[in-house]
A = this chain, B = another copy of it.
């Protein structure tokens, strides 16, 4: 028989966890732990269900020093919108790292993933973007386009945002939402090359399978965070850009070479840089980050189980403090 299990709904988790500097610090700590080599993070379990145009991914990681570890299950069923349902869902299960007993079920429908993904963008911007960012650009106009800008602004207080997306109306809606949320100037930009030219920080947030950011657009002092690619087949950044940038950083090399931007650069025979640094190595100071205001930096985020364990542990503590959740005795 197990102990009591706390159940937290999406609404309760949204109240308990916000995309703020505290959440960014928790995810930053997870990256530092990842670099310590003591994290246990098995490869992602992935299952396709072609009959329903669906897939499900399971991620986990054990981080020494954290009381718990999370197992995250993320289904993506891409015919759901036809049924009036969201494509993405999922939950996290938080286990005691000491006993393996289930501590909590976080029925977040992907909310905590949204937060930890955006928080990773903030960690990348904090350590890699130039000190002065006047304009931030975002490519894509979905949930992460909004959240990545919100997160990046926690560490670089820019006053202006440009948004490009294939669908100009969606880019305009996204810009309008950013202005409403952050109270800063934001507008849709019709030319992605101009967006990059005017920005010191660019975040790509698309499921693109052909690059949306060209190597020729790189300019001194630019930082790019590519967070869209999380599967073989996706590719947002011109593979040549990875080679031409002064610094390319992976969230996890073993994942980026299979699922991230690095995969395309390797596949095209362009990557000759050996093992690139990981974000956690830069966070922990064991490898250098940006070395000059002129350097071009690129960070490739595929999403790690370590981030899930970190945000789930944090969410549970926050919810407990707020007295949120219901308890099931088993």
A interface residue numbers (CB < 8 A to B): 1-2, 5, 7, 9-11, 40-49, 51-52, 54, 56, 58, 60-62, 64, 69, 71, 73, 75-77, 80, 83, 85-86, 89, 91, 93, 95, 97-102, 105, 107, 109, 326, 328-330
Which residue of B44, B93, B107 is within 8 Å of A73 (Cβ)? B93
Name 15 extra pairs, CB < 8 A, besides A71-B73, A107-B330.
Answer: A1-B10, A2-B109, A9-B330, A40-B48, A45-B60, A47-B69, A49-B97, A49-B100, A56-B60, A58-B71, A77-B99, A85-B99, A89-B102, A91-B93, A93-B93
Copies of this chain in the oligomer: 2
B89 pairs with A75, CB closer than 8 A = no
Q: Which of B40, B43, B91, B95 contacts A75 (CB 8 A)?
A: B95
In the complex, the answer to whether A46 meets B42 with C-beta atoms within 8 Å is yes
Which residues in B have their C-beta under 8 angstroms from that of A69?
Answer: 47, 49, 56
Q: How far is the CB of A87 from chain B (nearest CB, A)?
A: 8
The one of B61, B76, B109, B329 in contact with A1, judged by C-beta atoms closer than 8 angstroms, is B109
Q: Which residues of chain B are within 8 angstroms of A61 by Cβ–Cβ distance? A: 47
B75 x A100 contact (CB < 8 A): yes
Closest to A5 in B: B107
Contact call B60/A2, Cβ cutoff below 8 A: no
Smallest beta-carbon distance A318→chain B, Å = 18
Contact between B45 and A40, CB atoms less than 8 A apart: no
7 A-B pairs with the lowest CB-CB distances in the bound complex, closest first: A75-B100, A77-B100, A45-B45, A42-B47, A107-B330, A49-B62, A9-B330
Q: Complex formed: what's the CA distance from A64 to B83 in Å?
A: 20
- What is the CB-to-nearest-CB distance from A188 to chain B, in angstroms, rounded to a whole number? 28
In the bound complex, CA of A93 to CA of B51 (Å): 20
Partner of A60, one of B11, B58, B85: B58
Residue of A58, A61, A80 with most partner-chain B CB within 10 A = A58
CB pair A100–B54 under 8 Å, yes or no, is: yes
Contact A47 B64 (CB under 8 A): no
CA distance A60 to B107 in the complex (A): 19
Contacts A/B (CB < 8 Å), 11 sampled: A5-B107, A9-B328, A10-B330, A40-B47, A40-B48, A56-B60, A85-B101, A89-B100, A91-B102, A105-B105, A107-B328
